Amino acid sequence: NAGVTQTPKFQVLKTGQSMTLQCAQDMNHNSMYWYRQDPGMGLRLIYYSASEGTTDKGEVPNGYNVSRLNKREFSLRLESAAPSQTSVYFCASTTDRFNQPQHFGDGTRLSIL
């Protein structure tokens, strides 16, 4: 049971480089989310997708773009990476059923020099 799979697990980028973080879920969930976690802080929502073909901004969307490729996959793109985007990125998914928790992947640790 894979659940939510994120790739890569680690990445180091130089300022100005671009990168796409991949996320796939095998639970047939409609909703998918991208969060970032910084030291001493909780997870903050970057973007989410309530269903295939739709995406919406969360709390901290600046500097990111997303693509809901199909029901399974939701990618996060950094077009021009900045040191402030050094963080751990988590993808999550959930069903539309009433009051169901989100299930998280193990994260991508991204460092931007």
Partner 1 sequence: DQQVKQNSPSLSVQEGRISILNCDYTNSMFDYFLWYKKYPAEGPTFLISISSIKDKNEDGRFTVFLNKSAKHLSLHIVPSQPGDSAVYFCAASEAGSARQLTFGSGTQLTVLP
Work out whether 36 is an interface residue with partner 1 (CB under 8 A). Answer: no
**Closest distance between partner 1 and the C-beta of residue 41, in Å?**
5
**Closest distance between partner 1 and the C-beta of residue 105, in Å?**
5
Residues of span 49-88 touching partner 1 by CB under 8 A: 50, 56, 58
Handedness of CA 85, 47, 74, 69 (dihedral sign): negative
Buried b (16+ CB within 10 A) or exposed e, 42-53: ebebbbbbeeee
> In this structure, what is the dihedral angle of CA atoms 26, 65, 43, 108, given to the nearest 10 degrees?
60
Work out whether 41 is an interface residue with partner 1 (CB under 8 A). Answer: yes
Work out whether 101 is an interface residue with partner 1 (CB under 8 A). Answer: yes
Separation CA 34–CA 87 (nearest Å): 12
The binding site for partner 1 (CB under 8 A) comprises 4, 31, 33, 35, 40-45, 48, 50, 56, 58, 90, 92, 94, 99, 101-107
